[in-house]
Structure 1
Amino acid sequence: MSGDKGFIAPALTDLLERWLTTDSALGRISENTRKAYQTDLLVFFAFLSQHMENVRGVEMLRDISVTDMRSFMAHERGRGIAARSLARELSAVKSFYRWFSERDDFDATAVMMTRAPKFHNKLPRPLAKDAAKAVLETAALQSTEPWVQARDVAVLTLLYGCGLRISEALSLTFADVPLSDKLYIKGKGDKERLVPVIPTAQDAVAQYLRLCPFPGEKEHALFRGVRGGALSPRQVQKTLADVRMQLGLPSSVTPHAMRHSFATHLLNAGGDLRAIQELLGHASLASTEAYTAVDTARLLEVYEKAHPRG
C-alpha cells in the first residue's frame, strides 16, 4: 500500500495540510521535515481508510484504538519497512495526534502509548586522515573538465574542512563568495550557526570560481552541474562513490562521512566537545558524542577537562 491520495478522504488531506501549515508557520518544523511528515501521514491515512471500513474521514482518526495501531505497525513491518523508518513514521503520527487531540479535545492515548520498534543506531565511520586527504586528491581526477575537477574538490573540502552537511554546501550562493574566514550557515530547522572557514577551503572555492564557466547572480546556486543548473547531491554522491572504488574504501565513505571525519579529527586533536557541537549545528551534546568516533579513554579525558573534580 502506498500513500496515494486516491485512498484518502479530502477532509483528511485538508486536516493534514492545516497541521503542517500551522507547525511550519510557528517554525517548529523545517521544509524537509514537513515533506517527510506529509509522506508518513498519507501512508497512515491510507492504511486506516482501508482498515477501518465502517468509519470515514476525520471521525476515523478520533475512533482509533490500540488494536488499530497494532494493526498499522504490523502492516508496515509486513511491507518490509525497516525498524528505523517505522519509528520515524510513528513519530510523525504522534506529532500529528498531539496537535489534533489538543485542537479537537479528545483522548489520543491509543496513539501516544504505541511503542516504537527498537533499533540500533549505526555509529558513523569516519575516514583516517590519510584517507580523507586521498579522497580530496582523487576527486580532482574524476573529470576531464578542469572546472568540474575544481568544483568537486571545493565541495568535498567544505564537507571535510568545515563540517558542512552536503545540503548546506550546495545551498551556498554567489552572495556567499568570496569566502571569508567565517561563514553563516542555515542548518536543520533553519537554525543559524557561524562556521570558521579554513584557508584550504577558501582556496578551493576560489579556484572553482576562477574556472566556473557559469556566472551567476547573487541568489543563484554557487555550485553548478555540467549543464549550468544547481549541482545535485546525487552527483556529489556519485563522484565520491567513484573515488572510494578507486581507493578501495568501504561503502561507508559517503559525503556525510566527510563531516563525521571533520568532527572526529577535530576532537582527537584536542577540540572541545561543546565547541564542536556548535560547529556541527547539533541541538544536543549527545548527537555530537555519537558523531565522533573516539575511544572511551579520549572521551573521558574531554569530560575531565570540562568537569574537573573539586
Structure 2
Amino acid sequence: MTGLALTRAFLSWFAEERRASPHSVEAYGRDLSDLLGFLTGHLGAEPDLAALAALRPADLRAFLAFRAAAGAGRATRARQLAAVRSFLRWVARTYSVTPKALVGITGPRPNPPVPRALTVGDAKALPDHTDITQANARLALRDRALFTLLYGCGLRIAEALALDVRDAPPAGADVALRVRGKGNKERLVPVLPAVRDALADWLAVHGGTPDAPLFIGARGGRLDPAVAQKAMRDGRRALGLPEHATPHAMRHSFATHLLAGGADLRSIQELLGHASLSTTQRYTAVDTEQLLSAWRGAHPRT
C-alpha cells in the first residue's frame, strides 16, 4: 500500500472517527504531504507501508531539519511532528507494525509568546473610566477596584476574584496583600495607595461580611471571570484601546512597567508568584522591543 493511499485513509479516519474539523484535516493533509515529498527524495522512492514501518528517529529528525531549512518556524515544525506522530501511530494500530521512528523523538519547543503589555496611559485609563460603560454606580466602583488591583498588584484574575472581604487591606494602612496563587502558594504583595483607595471606595458600598467574596456580581455571588472580562472588553472598546487590553494584560503591564522603571527580575518574580525566573525573563523581550520601537521612531537616521 502506497504512502499516498495510507495518508488518504488516515485523513478519512481522522475526519470521521475523530470528528476533526475540516481545518484540522486540511492542515494535517498538508503536513503529511510535506512528509511524503521529503521521504520520496530521502529514500529514493515513494514510501509504502514497509518503508514507513522501517523509518527511524533519524529520518524524522532529517525531515524536521529539511523543513527548518525551508523556513518553517518552531511552531510549524512542532505541529508537523504532531501530525506525523498521529499518522504513524494510526498506521501501527491499523496494520500491526511498530512505529520505530517515534522512539525518543522530541519536537522543537515553540518560543513562548511575548507578553503584550499596555502603555501606562492605557493601563490607567481602564480603571479611571469604568463609569463610562457601567451604568450602575455601585458596580462601576467594583470594576474600578478590580482593574486597579490587577494593574497595581499584578494579580491574575483568578487570584483577585478568590479574595474575600477580610483579605482587603484596611483603609490607610500600609499592609501587604496576602495572595494565594498557583499550586496553593502564598505570596505577599505591597498595596499602593491608589489600590487601597479604590478598594476602600468599593468596600464602602459592598455591604458584605468579612467572609463574603471581595468582588461580587449583581446578585451577590462571587464575581464570575467572564463578567469581569466583559466589563473590561466594554471598557476598552468605549475608550478605543487595543483588543489585547484584557485582565491578564494588566498583569503583563504591571511587570513590564516595573521592569522599565528599574525593578530587578528577582523582585518582579516574587511579586508575580512565578516559580521560575525564566518565566519572568519574558518581560525583558517586551522592554527591549519598546526601546527599539522608540529608537526607530526618534532617531534621525532611521
SS at match of 1:184: strand
Output one character per residue of 1:81-125: Cα deviation in whole Å (capped at 9) or x when no partner: xx79x99xx9xxxxxxxxxxxxxxxxxx99983535643422111
Tell me the equivalent position of 2:123: 132
Provide the rounded CA distance (Å) in 1 between the counterparts of 2:216 and 2:201.
Answer: 14
Q: How many residues align?
A: 201
* 2:156 matches 1:165: yes
Equivalent residue for 2:225? 233
Q: Is 1:146–1:211's contact at 8 Å kept on the other side of the alignment?
A: no
- 1:75 corresponds to which residue? none
Q: CA–CA distance in 1 between the matches of 2:102 and 2:251?
A: 36
Q: Structure 1 residues 110 and 131 mapped into 2: Cα distance closer, same or farther (>3 Å)?
A: same
Shift of 1:259: 0.5
The 1:232–1:291 alpha-carbon spacing in structure 2 relative to 1, beyond 3 Å, is farther
Structure 1 segments unaligned to the other structure (5+ residues): 2-64, 71-82, 91-108, 299-310
Q: Percent identity?
A: 46
Amino acid at match of 1:295: T
Does residue 294 in structure 1 map to residue 294 in structure 2? no
1:146 is displaced (CA, Å) by: 1.6
Structure 2 residue identity aligned to 1:193? R
Paired with 1:111 and 1:231, the residues of 2 have a C-alpha distance of 46
In structure 2, C-alpha distance between the alignment counterparts of 1:111 and 1:148, rounded to whole Å: 55
- Aligned residue in 1 for 2:45: none
1:194 corresponds to 2:185: no
CA radius of gyration, larger in:
2
CA distance in 1 between counterparts of 2:290 and 2:125 reads 28
1:156 aligned onto 2:147: yes
1:142 to 133, 149, 152: 133
Work out whether residues 150 and 247 of structure 2, in 8 Å CA contact, stay in contact via their aligned partners in 1: yes
Paired residue secondary structure (1:193):
strand
Q: 1:170 to 1:114 in 2, by over 3 A?
A: farther
Q: Partners of 1:226 and 1:182 in 2: how far apart? A: 28
In the alignment, which of 190, 196, 211 is matched to residue 205 of structure 2?
Answer: 211
- Alpha-carbon RMSD: 3.2
Q: Find out whether 1:247 has 2:235 as its counterpart.
A: no
Structure 2 residue runs without a partner (length 5+): 1-12, 14-52, 61-74, 83-99, 292-302
Q: Tell me the CA shift for residue 296 of structure 1.
A: 7.2
Q: Which residue of structure 1 aligns with residue 112 of structure 2?
A: 121
SS class of match (2:132) = coil
Letter in 1 for 2:209: G
Given that 2:178 and 2:189 are in contact with CA atoms closer than 8 Å, whether structure 1 keeps it comes out as: yes
